[in-house]
Amino acid sequence: MTVTFKELDLIEPIQKALKELGYVTPTPIQAKSIPDLLLGKDLIGIAQTGTGKTAAFALPILQRMPEKFPRRIRALILAPTRELAAQIGTNFAEYGKFLKFKQTVIFGGVGQRPQVDALFKGVDIVIATPGRLLDLMNQKKVSLKEVEFFVLDEADRMLDMGFIHDIKKIIAKLPERRQSFFFSATMSPQVSNLAQGLLKDPVQVEIAPQATTVERIEQHMFFVDSKSKEKLLLQLLLKKHLTRVLIFTRTKHKANHVAEYLSDNRIHAVAIHGNKSQGARTKALEDFKSGRAKVLVATDIAARGIDVNDISHVINFELPNEPESYVHRIGRTARAGTDGTAYSFCAADERNYLHAIEKLIRMEIDVMDHNFHSESAKNATGQDAKPPPRGRGRTGARRPARSSSGGFGGRSSSGRSSGGDSHRSGGSRPSSNPHRSGANTRSSGSKPNSNPHRSGGSSSGSKPSTNPHRSSSSGSKPSKSGGNKSGFRKK
Ligand code: AMP
């Protein structure tokens, strides 16, 4: 049975803020956790960005935190990236619009002075990345003695980014008596250890296992030699229905390179990654959000926490080496209940990555026909399907392409049988992540609704899509066979 926010026992100022934001129906993680969290229970939420997890912890904190003077930090939220921290800060400001709390966001890469000034004036809520917070703690500019609410967001990503020691030092300074909220998209033994040390008798909520989240996204695979990827990208970006495009690369260098190539070819593109200054990252994100830049090129870590609606297409210029990242990446095009389209480029030496992705999502991605199609990429097996050893770079397919299609739509082979063969040979690659199978296990059995916003209907309905191709599939599940929607023909 669907509940509405009205039934959730939230105080008037919060109800009013939610109404202004157009939220009517709680997402599953909100509906399942908010009643217990309002009673003061700890939470472990296995959920990724896009499920509405921020409101799931922010609303109970705002409701349960009494106003106290002088203002001291009573809610601390740790996030792995500056962008996610900033996004959570925006969300808190929106949800707490009719309350009187003061908050600040703390992250590295910018001068610490304004952050210290804000702390000095007195704040109730701090949203921080671990490194800078620890810095300020060491300088005795922050005290966590009065923290009553503690949130650790995207714990798995925190561990991936090497924050474990910083986090432990921060946690050691928190009072024992507190309400803790713990979120992670995946659950490894390390993540679970961290949670156990942090939580007391927590409510556990598990939402939209990764492998099922992708089902509402139309996905297409383009086999292409590395040297032809840029030309293929340009050709795709000239199509009108690609209105707002997020492109992923594996490295910062490649992100810069792709953005420059596009800009040289009169497509306004900006890049965002860890080597950019905070100012440059903010500017790039603003340009993309406002539509000044049609394309944002990002690395995986930089893209975490980017909350941009109406991304019409995600393009994987390079496939990720961690299959979970594929799910995170393409999920960017299906925010807040919309559907989306994801294109992926696969060169010969990425063939094994593709195999791992298809294993995780438990489906084969449709292969598209296009000018730069590479049979050698499609059929690569053994050594050819593996990435080159570190340091050798990726300058192209390791073997010259045997054949390329003459033009769009010129091929009619079904394509999947040979793909199937190479899948088998790729299957020997051991999974680097022991928990990958966990995601699959969770998705088996009763399949939860992969779209947190869909159940309500009204919440997604309130957010119009700018992508004409999305609306066509509303109501029914989008076809994964592609057809004309992508402008390409399925192989
Ligand atoms: P999150 O997973 O917290 O990053 O939220 C993803 C997006 O969903 C954000 O743009 C939120 O503003 C939006 N959102 C969260 N909860 C709801 C809701 N109940 N109804 C509509 N939109 C929501």
Rounded to an integer, what is the distance from CA 464 to the centroid of its chain?
21
DSSP 243-269: -SEEEE-SSHHHHHHHHHHHHHTT--E
d(CA 305, CA 136): 23
Residue nearest to atom 18 of ligand 1 (CA): 23
Q: Which atom of ligand 1 is nearest to the CA of 50?
A: 2
Name residue 346's beta-bridge partners: 223
347, 384 in Cβ contact below 8 A? no
**What CATH class is the domain 5-206?**
alpha beta
* Phi, psi of 334, deg, nearest 5: -130, 50
Fold of 217-385: Rossmann fold (3.40.50)
Ligand 1 centre distance from Cα of residue 298 (Å): 22
5-206 and 217-385 agree in CATH topology: yes
Q: What is the pLDDT along the chain (491 residues), one digit of tens a residue?
A: 568 898 899 999 999 999 999 999 999 899 999 999 999 999 999 887 778 999 999 999 999 998 898 999 999 999 998 889 999 999 999 999 999 999 999 999 899 999 999 999 999 999 999 999 999 999 999 999 999 999 999 998 898 888 999 999 999 999 999 999 999 988 888 899 999 999 999 999 988 554 455 677 899 999 999 999 999 999 999 988 899 999 999 999 999 999 999 999 999 999 988 777 878 888 888 899 899 999 999 998 777 666 677 888 999 999 999 888 888 888 888 665 567 899 999 999 999 999 999 988 888 999 999 999 999 999 988 888 888 776 544 433 333 333 333 233 333 333 333 322 233 233 333 333 322 222 222 222 233 333 333 333 223 323 333 332 322 233 333 333 334 444 456 66
φ and ψ of 477, to 5 deg = -70, 135
Residue of 447, 469, 489, 465 whose CA lies nearest to 215: 447
Q: Give the DSSP H or E segment for 54.
A: helix 53-64
CA of 322 to the centre of ligand 1 (A): 26
| Ligand 1, atom 16, residue with closest C-alpha | 52
Residue 99 CB coordination number (10 Å): 16
Residue nearest to atom 14 of ligand 1 (CA): 52
CA of 52 to the centre of ligand 1 (A): 4
C-alpha closest to that of 314 among 291, 350, 343: 343
DSSP 8-state assignment for residue 454: T
Give the whole-angstrom CA distance, residue 465 versus residue 475.
Answer: 14
Give the residue extent of every domain in the chain: 5-206, 217-385
Q: Following DSSP, what letter does each residue of 349-410 receive, concatenated?
A: GGHHHHHHHHHHHTSPPEEEE-TTBBHHHHH--GGGGSPPPTTS---S-SS--S-B-SSTT-
For the CA of 462, the closest atom of ligand 1 is 21
